[in-house]
Amino acid sequence: MECSALSKILSTLPTSNAALIVDDEQDEQWLNFVSDNLFKSGILTVLYRLHSDSTNNSYLQAFTDDIKLRTSGFLDTVYVFNVDTNAAETILQLVMTENVARRNILLVFLWQDLFVSRRFRDFLQEGMRVCVVINNRYGVFQVLYNQARPDGGKGLDLVNWWSHTTESMFHSPLLPPAIKTYQNFNGRIFKVPVLHKPPWNFVIYSNITNKILVQGGRDDKLLRLLSNKLNFKYEYFDPPDRSQGSAIVNGTMQGVLGLIWQRDVEMFIGDLTVTYERSLAVEFSFLTLTDSEVFLTHSPGRLNEALALIRPFQWQVWPAVVTTVLLAGPLLYALVWSANGWTSTRSNLCDCIWITTTIFLRQSIPQAYTPSRVRLLMVTLYLVSTYVIGDMYSANLTSMLARPAREKPISNLEQLYQVMKYSDFQLLVEKHSASHAVLENGTGLYKSIWEKMKSQPIYLIESTEEGMLLVREQKNVALIGGRETFLYETRRFGAHHFHLSEKLYTRYSAIALQIGCPFVHNFNDILMRLFEAGVLTKMTQEEYRKLEDTRPSNEEKKDVGEGRGQAESEDTHRMAASMEMLQGAFFLLLAGYLVAGLILFAEWCSIGKFKPVKLNSIEKKPDLYKKSCM
């Protein structure tokens, strides 16, 4: 009867794969009977024998390798153990120490004693799925389960039984689903670590009382909403290491994620980015925020106004303009020379150069040329200088004087690496954050940037606020992190001080839970509804509105510059012209005075050294070159 009853109980297991673990003294007839019944029920079975006479628990190596393989592949599997009490306790201890408990792994123990031992119960964890089938009365097999209550205790509760009189289970399915068990926590109290990171959590630390005070935040509201929906309570506490934690290093993990990995706390919420390294230590819920990775730099400074006169044209245009001006005079002289029968004097060349210079300066000309080709060239020069070069230059110069030019912002990783390589530029990152893990474990350009960062005197900071202060005060410092956090912080510290880069990649934030957490589906159901309804976005926007309400009414509201663009600043407002704005024109005037003085000095020094030459070209050919009518 016992063999038949166990076979019927096991055939109701919610799986298509099972592993049967027995000791080396197990009866072959029992194994064949159970295996055949499981196969008829559509359950494939793998058999393992435990040789208990081996030392150092090496007989569990095959089971350990198998369960790690299945957990890494996320395969739903049921392990059925028909072993003695000592072996059952050792197996459960192994599952706890190796941290291989998962929601897709169910451990079923066919208990051979009348009562479950206390040592076995001590090894139980909420993240494990442990079922014990015990026969403490004739004809009745009780099914005990550790996830039958939402209080998180280490007990085993009766959830089902098989009776010889009915030859069937009292309930179906065999075990209660976790989503129903944890739909009401009945006032359970969770210890939740919290970190100060606006706008997600606002925490005030007291050095006198060593207590913390949480004054709202987006994630604080979200946790309050979850607690009201699922009927649980929570108490915040200050974690020993005020950081999130990035990855498991040498068997340890820092930050609040290390507390979850060690199963000291159940959850953490607060702008926690999902990464592969973190997913090896904790389990994540449905996303609570869709964000982007960016880096923050000081706002681009204003360029030197003394060079404002050459900025209307790019450097590729100036050579063409200068060449046009230099060749216009000789070209006009060549046309005049051909019109005079290829006879001319030095005075004609100087006059032609002076006339073209006058045209480009948009001044009137006291002479005129009779040949049509000469007039056509002069009209063309007028059009080029007036309607093309002159008007475009004047329009661009007016625009740049109205809105002074600024330095080119650093907008992508390639530009950031170049300034770090060739300039004294530093990049900072918050310690044990997701950005820290990406830089430390990245390849390609991220690896190159990380190598440059390690040569800096300081590259790891304790908080985002500390980095914001450094970026605001120094122009050669950048900070990498989440875009939403930076957008909020720039409004607190002054948006005109900062500039955001282009979006590097998309990242997602979620709630961190223990691996194998049984109530993750309950959290996900609520989060998905909030996300689809736009409630999470609205909660984030409310924090921005609160910040705007706390700012003085006379303070001007500005947005931070982002990407290759620049923010609207005080330079866009109407203001009177200053000497700083017009200093380029005065420098040009000073240069003209110096050149004119040098020419005057050269002429004064050359007096008496050259004989005067009479130029009668105008009198000889009055029909080609005459004075213009006044």
Residues 119 and 47 in one domain: yes
What pLDDT was estimated at residue 614? 53
Q: Which of 522, 511, 528, 512 is nearest to 177 (CA)?
A: 522
User: 566 lies in a domain?
Assistant: no
Task: Answer yes or no: do 200 and 271 share one domain.
Answer: yes
Residue 629 belongs to some domain of the structure: no
- Number of helices and strands (H, E) in the chain? 22, 22
pLDDT band of 164, cuts 50, 70, 90:
confident
pLDDT confidence tier of residue 11, bands split at 50, 70 and 90: confident
Domain C-terminal end among 530, 552, 574 = 552
* Highest mean pLDDT, choosing among 250-254, 382-386, 405-409, 534-538: 534-538
pLDDT for 363: 65
CATH number, position 58: 3.40.50.2300
Instruction: Assess whether 328 and 386 both reside in one domain.
Output: yes
Q: What is the pLDDT of residue 555?
A: 56
Could you tell me if 359 and 343 lie in one domain? yes
Which has more confidence, 605 or 274? 274
Where is mean pLDDT largest: 73-77, 355-359, 564-568? 73-77
Q: What is the pLDDT of residue 305?
A: 64
* Identity of the amino acid at 205: Y
Mean pLDDT of 510-524: 93
**Is the bond preceding 173 in cis, omega lying within 30 degrees of 0?**
yes
Q: Would you place residue 2 in the very low, low, confident or very high pLDDT band (cuts 50, 70, 90)?
A: low
Q: Are residues 98 and 234 in the same domain?
A: no
Per DSSP, the three-state class of 70 is helix
What is the residue whose two structure tokens read 């999902």? 274
Per-residue pLDDT at 312: 67
Helix (H, G, I), strand (E, B) or coil at 291: strand
CA dist 330 → 11, 320, 384 (Å): 104, 16, 17
Question: The tokens of 262 are what?
Answer: 């060690």
User: 257 near 278, Cβ under 8 Å?
Assistant: yes
On whether both 27 and 146 belong to a single domain, the answer is: yes
DSSP 24: T
Name the band, by pLDDT with cuts 50, 70 and 90, for residue 333. Answer: confident
**275/482 Cα distance (integer angstroms):** 14
> Going by C-beta distance under 8 Å and a sequence separation of 6 or more, which residues neighbour residue 277?
246, 247, 248, 437, 441
Question: How far apart are alpha carbons 430 and 84 in whole angstroms?
Answer: 51
Same domain, 260 and 356: no
- Same structural domain, 122 and 230: no
What is the DSSP code (8-state) at residue 501? -
Which stretch of 20-34, 395-409, 415-429, 616-630 has the lowest confidence by average pLDDT? 616-630
Greater pLDDT, 125 or 322: 125
Residue 628 pLDDT grade (very low, low, confident, very high; cuts 50, 70, 90)? very low
Co-location of 370 and 416 in the same domain: no
Dump pLDDT digits (tens) for 110-149.
888 888 999 999 999 988 999 999 887 887 888 999 999 9
Amino acid 368: pLDDT: 57
pLDDT average, residue stretch 377-406: 66
Query: What are the residues whose beta carbons fall under 8 Å from the beta carbon of 250, sequence distance 6 or more?
Result: none
Residue 527 has a pLDDT of: 95
Q: Quick check: helix, strand or coil at residue 306?
A: helix
Looking at the chain, the whole-number percentage of residues with pLDDT higher than 90 is 29
- 283 — pLDDT class (breaks 50, 70, 90): very high
| Closest listed residue to residue 514, CA positions, set 285, 266, 278, 286 | 266
In a domain, 591, yes or no: no
Determine the pLDDT at residue 448.
93
pLDDT band at residue 154 under the 50/70/90 scheme: confident
Which residue did the predictor score with more confidence, 258 or 39?
Answer: 258
The answer to the question of residue 7 being in a domain is: yes
In angstroms, rounded to a whole number, what is the distance separating the alpha carbons of residues 413 and 504?
A: 8
Report how far residue 583's alpha carbon sits from residue 261's, in angstroms, rounded to the nearest whole number: 64
Instruction: Look at residue 442 and tell me if it is in a domain.
Output: yes
- pLDDT over threshold 80, residue 89: yes
Residues 423 and 509 in one domain: yes
Confidence bin at 427 (pLDDT 50/70/90): very high
Lowest mean pLDDT among 126-130, 225-229, 573-577: 573-577
- The CATH number that applies at residue 214 is 3.40.190.10
Q: Tokens at residue 281, please? A: 């230590």
Residue 481 bridge partners (DSSP) = 294
pLDDT band at 161 (very low <50, low <70, confident <90, very high): confident
The answer to whether residues 526 and 223 touch, using CB atoms and an 8 Å cutoff, is no
Judgement on whether residues 492 and 366 belong to the same structural domain of the protein? no
| C-alpha–C-alpha distance, residues 263 and 191, integer Å | 12
- Domain membership of residue 502 as a residue range: 177-301+407-552
Of 155, 176, 197, the domain-final residue: 176
**Residue 558, domain member (yes or no):** no
pLDDT at 630: 38
- Higher pLDDT among residues 613 and 64, named by residue: 64
How many structural domains is the chain composed of? Answer: 3
Band the pLDDT of 362: cuts 50, 70, 90. Answer: low
- Tokens found for residue 361: 């300066």
Q: For residue 53, tell me if it sits in a domain.
A: yes
Q: Report if residue 331 sits inside a domain.
A: yes
Beta bridge partners of 485: none
199 plus 60 within the same structural domain: no
**Can you tell me the distance from the alpha carbon of 229 to that of 519, in angstroms, rounded to the nearest whole number?**
13
Which of these three, 552, 580, 610, is where a domain ends? 552
pLDDT tens digits along 444-482 = 999 999 999 999 999 999 888 899 999 999 989 999 999
pLDDT at 557: 60
CA within 13 Å, CB half, 278: 30
Average pLDDT for 245-264:
89
**pLDDT (0 to 100) of residue 445:** 92
On the 0-12 / 13-18 / 19+ scale of CB atoms within 10 A, 217 is buried
